[in-house]
């Protein structure tokens, strides 16, 4: 397609979409101005398919129009790649389109630079940046999701490796995010597209199930629709009835559900909502009237009714759900809602947030800002949770997961992940309520504290001033927020013990002379901040608990006066002088030791990928130590040599790992099972000591290929509910 022809065709498509949604002339003029500007800026660029690049921002803008987004957001959709991919300056864009549109484009540009496949710490930081951008202006997420949708729609033009990477990220992050904001249409299409690329065989199987007897099902549904319409009209209820198709990924999840035993496509009656009916009425009163009428006309299926009007979902979704038995003996799901509810159900925040363009204001009301409280909560959790893996798990499990809706006796509604317990609910309300929880009533009946909550449960938490968390709670709580608070309470109770251990370790490392000055020094305070502690005392306690190693502290101190040799400084980190050995003979995993006799130090057990030093011993060759091994401080500098691992090794190396756990029957077995499932051999395991009545310390020797494998299994162990601390010796 010629550029001139493409420009005209795309412009007409855009105008047609805008007019269909009754946009006024002023809005259309501004949007077309943004289109023409974007066209000129992207004129030399092409997509992987070979098509003009401008097609992409136009498709993004059309999606935003369909979502009923405001004019500034549609303009930002057209301009979202201009700042990053062209020579356009902030000043130029602001002068042409104003501060509001520029700010939106800048926010989307920043989101585009975030990746969720890097290190755990970087992922956590990127999550926080994304949520901060959304909290600042929720319209940013509309543009980003419309952008991701078109990228997924055109994913076939990328190499298979990139297809899988992008689809996985979309399914893990962006589809749940769309659901959290009530963007049902985008969420379902993203999930189906991801499903197609990530599990192509299962995707085709589901397509076969859906296509099987499709025309027969549609004919039966149409008859049911007409019967319901006829009954409602007789009752003077103005009604619109729509057919509703279930999307592929949702059907797949039903197939994977152990309660759904469907295998043969001919057994599709076991899936309740391959096709369904949506009934739209004028007001809430008519919703409940319609429910009663259809229940009289067609027998309802027990246990399949949900009232999301009385108890809306956290993404503002409202509707009545029921399942009816048709005259053909097959169940059909029915949704009943008002037209306004339907608009919110399909378009989420884009429908709910009323931007006042006529007054030049596009900010939401205080009530609407309050509804973004879950985003602000996540941002605050980032500062509260020092462990990046814990923060990521909290985002994914507590926010981007499937939810149940729980009520307090006062009628407040809280959302929690599926299978949450009263303890999770208590911590959701407030950390003090969780810490002092002694029991719970659910629907006015006393239940065990590990009871699994269900949609619509009314929960009353019973507390006592003298109560405190029990470490056994970690065995059944669902939310990472609850796990974090329980572990935090435990650590606070053991603060003094950990502080004493930390001081002892520091004194052993840096010597007794001047020690008191050292632990009160500004240098150690600075190191504490660099390692994300509030102060040096918390850092020392962190060393004592195993959360932070002496090696980490020593590495940061290298940048301070304690890292330099000086007669004035009572404490010194020894500067390591190096010499290099000649390479000869057989190839070793450490190039400098080729042909030489060497062994791995048993005191610190280094593994490939970790910084190391060689110690020359007469008659024993070279011993390889970790760079920050305590024993190196006792070695004369002339015996040290600079060495490095080869980039790749194919051997297994033993190394220590210490795990502090909640002491219960079977905990060691669970840990060893997790390690075995990871394909890692354990050559030795023993319980070293019991720091308290409820905890134990397990010491293991693992055989790993290197630092990456060790880090992976360490992170997996940290994610276990019974594990309190994991660290190297």
Tokens of 582: 């000649």
Complete DSSP assignment for 658-717: EEEEE--TTHHHHHHHHHHHTT-EEEEEEEEE-SSTTEEEEEEEEEESSHHHHHHHHHHH
CATH architecture of 373-493: Roll (3.10)
Instruction: Compute the distance between CA of residue 718 and CA of residue 726 in angstroms, rounded to an integer.
Output: 6
What is the pLDDT, as a whole number, of residue 135? 63
Q: Could you give the 3-state DSSP secondary structure of residue 617?
A: strand
Is 85 noted as a catalytic residue in this protein? yes
Instruction: Compute the distance between CA of residue 415 and CA of residue 425 in angstroms, rounded to an integer.
Output: 9
pLDDT tens readout for residues 137-174? 778 888 989 999 999 999 998 888 889 988 988 888 88
Tokens of 472: 């056994």
pLDDT tens readout for residues 471-484? 778 778 888 788 88
Q: Do the beta carbons of residue 35 and residue 74 sit within 8 Å?
A: no
**Residue position matching structure tokens 């994914």:** 396
pLDDT tens readout for residues 641-660? 888 888 766 788 889 888 88
Radius of gyration (Cα) for the chain, nearest Å?
Answer: 31
Q: Could you give the 3-state DSSP secondary structure of residue 252?
A: helix
Above 50 in pLDDT, residue 514? yes
CATH topology of domain 3-157: Hypothetical protein af1432 (1.10.3210)
With b for 16 or more beta-carbon neighbours within 10 A and e for fewer, the 609-630 pattern comes to bbebbbbbeeeeebbbbbebbb
Which residues does residue 657 pair with via DSSP β-bridges, in sequence order? 700
Q: Do the beta carbons of residue 594 and residue 560 sit within 8 Å?
A: no
- The values of phi and psi at residue 726, to 5°, are -130, 130
pLDDT tens readout for residues 337-359? 999 888 888 776 666 544 334 34
Instruction: Compute the distance between CA of residue 671 and CA of residue 145 in angstroms, rounded to an integer.
Output: 39
Q: Homologous superfamily of 653-727 in CATH?
A: ACT domain (3.30.70.260)
Q: Do the beta carbons of residue 604 and residue 629 sit within 8 Å?
A: yes
pTM higher than the cut 0.85 = no
CATH 3.10.20.30 placement within the chain = 373-493
Starting at the edge strand found earlier in the chain, the sheet holding 275-281 runs 240-245, 275-281, 331-338, 320-325, 306-307
Above 50 in pLDDT, residue 268? no
Selected catalytic residue, list 85, 202, 435, 460: 85
Q: How much is the mean pLDDT over the chain?
A: 78
Instruction: Compute the distance between CA of residue 653 and CA of residue 655 in angstroms, rounded to an integer.
Output: 7
Q: Could you give the 3-state DSSP secondary structure of residue 721?
A: coil
CATH 3.30.70.260 placement within the chain = 653-727
Query: What count of residues does the chain have?
Result: 729
Above 60 in pLDDT, residue 388? no
- Count helices and strands in the chain by DSSP H and E runs: 30, 18
The CATH number of 207-350, from 3.30.460.10, 3.40.50.1000, 3.30.930.10, 3.40.50.2020, is 3.30.460.10
Q: Is 651 exposed, middle or buried (0-12, 13-18, 19+ CB in 10 A)?
A: exposed
Tokens of 38: 């974007």
Distance linking the first and last C-alpha atoms of the chain: 65
CATH 1.10.3210.10 placement within the chain = 3-157
Residue of 658, 661, 647 whose CA lies nearest to 708: 647
Q: Is 573 exposed, middle or buried (0-12, 13-18, 19+ CB in 10 A)?
A: buried
What is the pLDDT, as a whole number, of residue 574? 38
Q: Do the beta carbons of residue 404 and residue 455 sit within 8 Å?
A: yes
Instruction: Compute the distance between CA of residue 544 and CA of residue 244 in angstroms, rounded to an integer.
Output: 59
Percentage of the chain beyond pLDDT 90 is 17
Residue of 143, 137, 148 whose CA lies nearest to 100: 137
Instruction: Compute the distance between CA of residue 272 and CA of residue 303 in angstroms, rounded to an integer.
Output: 13
Residue of 511, 612, 632, 629 whose CA lies nearest to 562: 511
Instruction: Compute the distance between CA of residue 66 and CA of residue 18 in angstroms, rounded to an integer.
Output: 9
Is 568 noted as a catalytic residue in this protein? no
Selected catalytic residue, list 84, 307, 523, 526: 84
CATH 3.30.460.10 placement within the chain = 207-350
What is the pLDDT, as a whole number, of residue 367? 44
Instruction: Compute the distance between CA of residue 549 and CA of residue 288 in angstroms, rounded to an integer.
Output: 62
pLDDT band at 465 (very low <50, low <70, confident <90, very high): confident
Above 50 in pLDDT, residue 328? yes
């Amino acid at each position: 397609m010629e550029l001139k022809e493409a420009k005209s065709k795309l412009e007409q498509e855009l105008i047609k979409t805008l007019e269909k949604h009754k946009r006024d002339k002023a809005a259309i003029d501004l949007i077309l101005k943004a289109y023409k500007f974007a066209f000129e800026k992207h004129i030399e660029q092409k997509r992987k398919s070979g098509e003009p690049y401008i097609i992409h921002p136009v498709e993004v803008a059309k999606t935003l129009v369909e979502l009923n987004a405001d004019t500034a957001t549609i303009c930002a959709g057209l301009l979202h790649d201009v700042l990053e991919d062209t020579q356009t300056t902030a000043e130029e864009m602001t002068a042409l389109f104003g501060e509001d549109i520029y700010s939106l484009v800048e926010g989307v540009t920043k989101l585009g630079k975030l990746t969720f496949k890097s290190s755990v710490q970087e992922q956590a930081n990127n999550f926080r940046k994304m949520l901060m951008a959304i909290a600042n202006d929720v319209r940013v997420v509309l543009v980003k999701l419309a952008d991701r949708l078109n990228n997924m729609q055109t994913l076939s033009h990328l190499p298979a490796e990139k297809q899988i990477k992008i689809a996985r990220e979309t399914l893990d992050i962006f589809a749940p995010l769309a659901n959290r904001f009530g963007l049902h249409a985008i969420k379902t299409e993203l999930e189906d597209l991801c499903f197609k690329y990530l599990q192509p065989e299962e995707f085709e199987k589901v397509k076969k199930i859906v296509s099987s007897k499709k025309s027969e099902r549609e004919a039966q549904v149409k008859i049911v629709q007409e019967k319901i319409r006829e009954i409602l009209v007789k009752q003077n209820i103005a009604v619109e009835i729509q057919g509703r198709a279930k999307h592929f990924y949702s059907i797949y999840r039903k197939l994977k559900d152990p309660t759904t035993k469907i295998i043969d496509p001919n057994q599709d009656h076991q899936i309740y909502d391959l096709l369904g009916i949506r009934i739209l009425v004028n007001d809430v009163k008519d919703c409940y009237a319609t429910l009663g009428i259809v229940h009289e006309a067609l027998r309802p299926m027990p246990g399949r009714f949900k009232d999301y009007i009385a108890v809306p979902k956290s993404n503002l979704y409202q509707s009545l759900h029921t399942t009816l038995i048709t005259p053909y003996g097959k169940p059909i799901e029915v949704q009943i809602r008002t037209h306004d509810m339907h608009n919110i159900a399909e378009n989420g925040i884009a429908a709910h947030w009323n931007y006042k363009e006529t007054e030049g204001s596009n900010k939401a009301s205080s009530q609407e800002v309050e509804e973004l409280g879950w985003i602000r909560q996540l941002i605050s959790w980032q500062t509260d949770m020092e462990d990046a893996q814990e923060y990521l798990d909290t985002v994914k499990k507590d926010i981007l997961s499937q939810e149940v809706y729980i009520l307090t006796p006062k009628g407040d509604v809280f959302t929690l992940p599926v299978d949450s317990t009263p303890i999770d609910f208590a911590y959701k309300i407030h950390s003090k309520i969780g810490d002092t929880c002694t029991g719970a009533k659910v629907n006015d009946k006393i239940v065990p504290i590990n009871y699994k909550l269900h949609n619509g449960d009314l929960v009353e938490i019973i507390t006592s001033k003298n109560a405190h968390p029990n470490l056994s709670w970690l065995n059944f709580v669902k939310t990472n927020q609850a796990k974090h608070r329980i572990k935090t309470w435990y650590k606070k109770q053991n603060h003094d013990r950990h502080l004493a251990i930390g001081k002892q370790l520091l004194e052993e490392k840096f010597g007794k002379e001047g020690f008191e000055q050292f632990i009160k020094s500004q240098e150690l305070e600075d190191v504490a901040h660099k390692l994300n502690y509030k102060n040096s005392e918390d850092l020392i306690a962190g060393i004592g608990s195993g959360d932070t190693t002496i090696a980490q502290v020593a590495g940061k101190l290298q940048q301070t006066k304690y890292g330099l040799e000086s007669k004035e400084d009572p404490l010194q980190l020894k500067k390591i002088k190096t010499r290099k050995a000649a390479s000869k003979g057989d190839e070793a995993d450490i190039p400098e030791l080729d042909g030489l006799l060497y062994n791995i130090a048993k005191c610190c057990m280094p593994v490939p990928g970790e910084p190391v030093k060689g110690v020359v011993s007469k008659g024993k060759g070279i011993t390889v130590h970790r760079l920050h091994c305590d024993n190196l401080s006792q070695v004369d500098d002339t015996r040290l040599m600079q060495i490095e691992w080869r980039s790749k090794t194919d051997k297994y190396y033993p190394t220590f790992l210490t795990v502090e756990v909640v002491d219960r029957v079977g905990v060691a077995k669970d840990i060893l099972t997790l390690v075995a499932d990871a394909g890692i051999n354990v050559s030795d395991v023993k319980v070293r000591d019991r720091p308290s009545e409820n905890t134990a310390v397990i010491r293991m020797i693992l055989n790993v290929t290197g630092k990456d494998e060790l880090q992976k299994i360490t992170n997996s162990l940290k994610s276990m509910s019974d594990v309190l601390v994991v660290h190297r010796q």
